[in-house]
Amino acid sequence: MAKGAVFKPEKPQSRFMDEKGRLYFYDNAKFILIFLVVLAHAVSPFQTEYGAIGILWKTINTFHMPLMIFISGFFSKRYIGANGSLKVQRAFSYFMLYLFSQLFVSLFEKLVLHNRSVGFSIVSARSSLWFLMCLGVWYLVLPFFSKFKGAAVIISGIIIGLIIGYDANVGHDLSLSRVFVHFPFFMAGYFCTPELIGKLNNTYIRFISIPLFTICVCVIVLLDEYYPGRIITCSNSYENVMPVVDMQYGLVWLSRLLFYALAFVTGASFFAIVPRVKVFFTRFGSRTLAVYILHRFLYLCWIDKTLAWWKIFDEMEYGLPMVFGIAVAVTVILSLKPFSLPFTAIQKIPVRCLLKREEERAK
């Protein structure tokens, strides 16, 4: 296994972790990031009317999913054995979460929202559920890539992510585009050490993080026409990006390279300012998975052509501030423990029992 890949918890300090050794920093970061996921979906219909909302959407989407993937990769170390083998239960649990979520979201769209074009599909993830499919794939290939040097894996992953956009067949099906393009963030998290993240908790770094983040936002504003949403979501081939970006086809990879650069810089800046001590929202950070999956049902109602809940607030004088408040409320409410129970139960479905049944049938 690669040097530095073994997960080693930081030295226990009551100010920075609970009695079980759970670090407050990661729960704080996860809660803020899941709030940004909800907020980005909430404001997305307002982009065409308000230019500032469009920039806000691009900024949030530049780093919130890359960082969530990074954190997943960081904690994946605990699921790799000393001999480099994978604890397959983790990958299996994500595939099960994906299948259950895909089924219920599809049924909701078809039966409640009366979207006749929707059918149940295993290969085509319903919007944000791509994250669960990608995690399952990344965990399966992790034992192989963990044997190489981190820099080589990450740089190679970025190069492949830049090239893969020229394959028009790589897109939404099996979330292949996102599997490849987001893979460097997962591996960056895997190879990152607690000590390296701890170095961000430095007065000087925290001091420059906000100006650095501001510069990145200015870059997004200045290069707005060369940095389309279809690049940021990482779900499209360059062929599908061309209609919305004024660039030569052979140079579109530069837009994706810009995405990688901005994602890493804004991500590091974000980590530098996240509180490392317990705050009022820390306790919600351990249940972000439920928020990620369940808010999808509300989002579907929000953007549905018939319901179009967002239009109610678009017509109000203070509609946008209310939308921000709703995003906070949704994030907090869905973070409550009862909402996480079904997903905890799904993750506890043992893969070994299913494998034994298959073996017994084969005999």
The residue count for the chain: 363
- Closest among 236, 286, 267 to 64, alpha carbons compared: 267
CA distance 115 to 304: 9
- Write out the two tokens for 274: 């996240």
List the end-to-end C-alpha distance of the chain, in Å, as a whole number: 36
CA distance 317 to 331: 24
Helical (H) or strand (E) element with 353 = helix 351-362
Cβ atoms of 53 and 119 within 8 Å: the answer is no
- Write out the two tokens for 227: 């940095």
User: pLDDT truncated to tens, each residue of the chain (363 aa)?
Assistant: 444 444 444 455 567 887 778 889 999 999 999 999 999 999 999 998 898 999 999 999 999 999 999 999 999 998 887 777 788 888 889 999 999 999 999 999 999 998 877 777 887 887 789 999 999 999 999 999 999 999 999 999 999 999 999 998 887 777 899 999 999 999 999 999 999 998 998 889 999 999 999 999 999 999 999 999 999 999 989 999 988 888 899 999 999 999 999 999 999 999 999 999 999 999 999 999 999 999 999 999 999 888 888 989 988 888 899 999 999 999 999 999 999 999 999 988 887 655 554 444 434
CA distance 290 to 75: 18
- Closest among 298, 295, 307 to 334, alpha carbons compared: 295
CA distance 273 to 205: 9
What integer pLDDT is reported at residue 14 of this predicted model? 65
124 has which bridge partners? Answer: 173
What integer pLDDT is reported at residue 6 of this predicted model? 44
CA distance 88 to 140: 8
Distances 67 to 29, 92, 262, 267, 302 between C-alpha atoms, Å: 9, 22, 12, 6, 25
Contacts of 114 (CB under 8 A, 6+ apart): 306
